[in-house]
Amino acid sequence: MPSEGTRDAHVHRMSRRKMMKGVAAVLGAMALPAKDAPASVWESFFQKNFRELSPEELNGVLSRLQKEYSEKYKKAVTVRATPPVEGVLYGYGLDLSRCIGCRRCVYACVGENNQSRDPQIHWIRVLQLNKERGVDLEEAEHYYNPAKVPEKGHFYMPVQCQQCEYPPCVKVCPVQATWKERDGITVVDYNWCIGCRYCMAACPYGARHFNWKKPALPPAEMNPETHYLGNRPRPVGVVEKCTFCVQRVRNTPGRYTACVEVCPVGARKFGNLLDPESEIRYVIENKRVFILKEDLNTRPKFYYFYAT
Amino acid sequence: MNTERMRRASVPAAAALLLFLAAGWASAAEHPKATPPAKKERAPEHLQFAVPTPPFTPGIFPCSECHKEMKPNPTRRELKDEHTNIVLNHAQGQRWCLDCHDVSNRDKLHLVSGEKIGFEESYRLCGQCHGDKYRDWKVGVHGKRTGMWNGEKQYLLCVHCHNPHDPGFKPLAPMPPPVRPEAVRK
C-alpha cells in the first residue's frame, strides 16, 4: 500500500484548504475599493470609529463628508460633530391628553433629519389606541387614515427612540457602532455600522430603522445643517434612529427639536432633566407621568404624561 | 467671677462690633451701588411673556374705528346687524360680548376687577376662569413653545389655537399613514 507522500508526490494537489484560502483572498480583494477609486473612498474605508478619532482626524473626516455631500446635493452642506453640552441630560415629554394623531411630527422629522423618502423611513410612529383599552400595544393601529383626527373613542401615542438610560440596542452591537452619549442621546456612527440589525431586534420600541436600499433624498428637500452622529445623509445598509435632533439641540442656546416645533397642539415638551426650572422637570414633578414598557428596566428619558 | 469675666470680655467685643458696623456703613456710603436694593422690583406679570400679535380678522382692529361713532348699548342681546358670524360656543347663556370686551374703550378687554387690558395680554383674561391652564401655560407646559430650549422662547396666545368665541380645538386632517411593508416588497 503506497504511502500518501509517494502516491501524490508528482501531482500538483489542490487541497480544500488551499482552495478556500484562494477564494477568501479573491473575495477580500474584491471588497476593497477599486484601484482608481477616489481618495475619499479609500479614506472612508480606513476611517476609525468616531470615538477613536483624534481632533485632527475628525476635522479631516468632517471636511471630506462636507465636500462629498455638497457635491452630491448641489448645495453648501455643513457636517458638524458638536459635542454634548456640559451639565445637560435631555428629557422629552409627550402629553397624551393633547395629542390628536395628526402626524405633523412624523413628516417634520423626516424633513429635518434627511430620512429616505423611498423606501420610506419614519423615526416616529403614531399609534392609535382605544380609550377603553388604554395603552394596549397589541391593539395599536398605526395605519389609521380617517378624514379628520382625533377619532371618537381613541387616543394617540407617538413612539420614537426613548433614549434609554440602559439601551439594549447599545448592548448588543457587536462592533460598538452605537453608544449613549453623555447628554443621554444614543447615536450611531453610520461609517462604522455593519448593518447586522441586532440593535433593531433588541430595541423594545421599534425605534431603529434600516436602510434596505440606497436612501432616496431629493437634493431640494435635503437639510444642509447636519451632524455627523445625526441627520447627515446615510449610506445603504446602516441603521438609523431618532437623536433628539442632535444637530439642533446641542448648542447654547439650542433650538427645540423639529417635532416639538411643529406640533399644532403643543403636546411635545423638551428640556434638560438636570435643570429644576425646565419644562420637563415641571411635567415630571406636577403631572401624571409614565414611561413605556417600564418593566423592561430600560429607563427611558421619554415621558408620556397627562396634563389634565 | 464668671459673670465678671464675661462683662470684661464684652466691652472690647462690643467696641469691635461697633467699629465693624461703622466701617461697613462707611464703605456702603462710598459705594452706594454695592448695596442690594431692599426689594427686588419684579416686572409686571403681563410683561413677562413675549407673544406674537393676536390673530385678528383682517381689517377688524382697531374696533374703535367703527365703534367711536356709535352710542354704546350695554343691554344683553343677540347681535343682529354686525358680528353675526360670531356664534358664541363658550359658556353660552352665561356670558355675552361685554363680559370680556370693554364698553368704554372698544380697543381693550377688561378683567373682572375692571382693569382694562390690551388684546395682546388676553391670556390674563382667559386665566381668570382657566387658572390651571394659565399656570401650565406660563411654565410652557400648556400650549406650544418654539425657539430655544435653553434660551429665548416664543409663546403663543391662547387665541392662536382656541377661537375665544368657540374654543374647542378643531379636528385636523392627518398626514398620510406610513407605507405598509407589503407595498414596498417588489
Q: Is A308 exposed, middle or buried (CB count within 10 Å of its CB: 0-12, 13-18, 19+)?
A: exposed
Nearest chain B alpha carbon to A118: B184
- Shortest CA gap A26–chain B (Å): 32
pLDDT of A114 higher than 70: yes
Identify the band that residue A2 occupies on the pLDDT scale cut at 50, 70 and 90. Answer: low
Is omega for the bond preceding B178 within 30 degrees of 0, making it cis?
Answer: no
- Output phi, psi for A180, to 5 deg: -95, 130
- Count of alpha carbons within 13 angstroms of residue A177, beta-carbon side: 20
Alpha carbon of B86 to those of B73, B79, B90, B97, B105: distances in Å?
Answer: 18, 9, 11, 10, 20
A126: closest CA of chain B, how far (Å): 9
Test mutation, B137, B139, B149, chain A, max A CBs within 10 A = B149
Residues paired with residue A129 on neighbouring β-strands, in sequence order: A155
SS3 A186: strand
Provide the pLDDT for residue B36: 45
List the beta bridge partners of residue A130.
A154
Buried b (16+ CB within 10 A) or exposed e, A202-216: ebebebbbbbeeebe
Contact yes or no for B145 and A249 at CB 8 A: no
Report the complex ipTM: 0.84
Query: Is A215 touching B (CB cutoff 8 A)?
Result: no
- Are A255 and B147 a contacting pair at CB < 8 A? yes
Q: Which cell goes with B160? A: 392662536
pLDDT for res B4: 52
Residue B28 pLDDT grade (very low, low, confident, very high; cuts 50, 70, 90): very low
| Nearest to A127, CA basis, from A119, A118, A136, A116 | A136
Residue B140 exposed, middle or buried by CB count within 10 Å (0-12, 13-18, 19+): buried
**Record: contact A144-B143, CB cut-off 8 A:** no
Among partner residues A149, A271, A282, which is closest to B174 by beta-carbon distance?
A: A149
Among residues A47, A28, A88, A117, which one has the least CA distance to residue A251?
A88
Do the Cβ atoms of A268 and A92 come closer than 8 Å? yes
A254:B139 CB<8 A: no
**What's the fold here for domain A90-306?**
Alpha-Beta Plaits (3.30.70)
**What is the predicted pLDDT for the residue at B182?**
82
Say whether residue A261 is in contact with chain B using an 8 A CB cutoff: yes
Nearest chain B Cα distance for residue A262, angstroms: 9
- The per-residue pLDDT for B32 is 42
Q: Under DSSP, is residue A60 helix (H, G, I), strand (E, B) or coil?
A: helix
Whether residues B173 and A149 touch (CB distance < 8 A) is answered with yes
**B50-76 per-position pLDDT tens digit:** 788 888 888 888 988 889 888 888 888
Of A58, A86, A301, residue with least CA distance to A182: A86
Which residues 162-201 in chain A show a CB within 8 A of chain B?
none
Instruction: Kindly indicate the confidence band of residue A7, based on its pLDDT and cuts at 50, 70 and 90.
Output: low
SS3 B38: coil
Nearest to B99 by CA among B79, B125, B80: B125
What are the backbone dihedrals phi and psi of residue A297, each rounded to the nearest 5 degrees, phi first?
Answer: 55, 40
Inspect the interface and report whether the beta carbons of A266 and B136 lie closer than 8 Å: no
The one-character DSSP state at B90 is: S
Portion 4-43 of A in contact with B at CB < 8 A: none
Q: Which band of pLDDT confidence, cut at 50, 70 and 90, is reported for residue A44? A: confident
Grid coordinates standing for A158? 407617538
Rounded-to-integer distance, Cα B185 and Cα B176, Å: 19
The answer to whether the Cβ–Cβ distance between A148 and B141 falls below 8 Å is: no
- Give yes or no for a contact between A101 and B174, defined as CB atoms under 8 angstroms apart: yes
Q: What is the DSSP string of A107-156?
A: HHHHHHHT--TTTT--S-EEEEEETTT-S-GGG-BS----SSBSPTTEEE
Residues of chain A found within 8 Å of residue B136, distances taken between Cβ atoms: 307
Which residues of chain B make contact with A265, given a CB cutoff of 8 A? 144, 161, 169
* Cβ–Cβ contact A117 with B under 8 A: no
Chain B residues with CB within 8 Å of chain A CB: 136, 139-152, 156, 161, 169, 171-180, 184
C-alpha cell at A150: 382625533
Residue B95 has pLDDT above 60, yes or no: yes
Looking at the predicted structure, is the pLDDT value of residue A167 above 50?
yes
- How high is the pLDDT of residue B44? 62
Query: Which is higher by pLDDT, A41 or B169?
Result: B169
- CA distances A39 to A34, A64, A169, B171, Å, are 11, 10, 33, 54
Mean pLDDT along residues A83-92: 97
Each residue's pLDDT tens digit, B110-153: 999 999 999 999 999 999 999 999 999 999 999 999 999 999 99
Q: Quote the CA–CA distance of A301 and A218 in Å, as a whole number.
A: 33
CA distances, A203 to each of A128, A200, B9, B36, B100 (Å): 21, 5, 74, 55, 53
CA distance B156 to chain A (A): 10
A282 touches chain B (CB under 8 A): yes
The C-alpha of A174 sits at a distance from chain B's nearest C-alpha, in angstroms, of 27
In this complex, do A256 and B146 lie within 8 Å of one another by their Cβ atoms? yes
Dihedral over Cα of B117, B120, B121, B125: its sign: positive
Instruction: Using CB atoms, pick whichever of A107, A249, A282 lies closest to residue B149.
Output: A249
Least confident of A7-11, A30-34, B96-100: A7-11
Q: Do the beta carbons of residue A162 and residue A90 sit within 8 Å? A: no
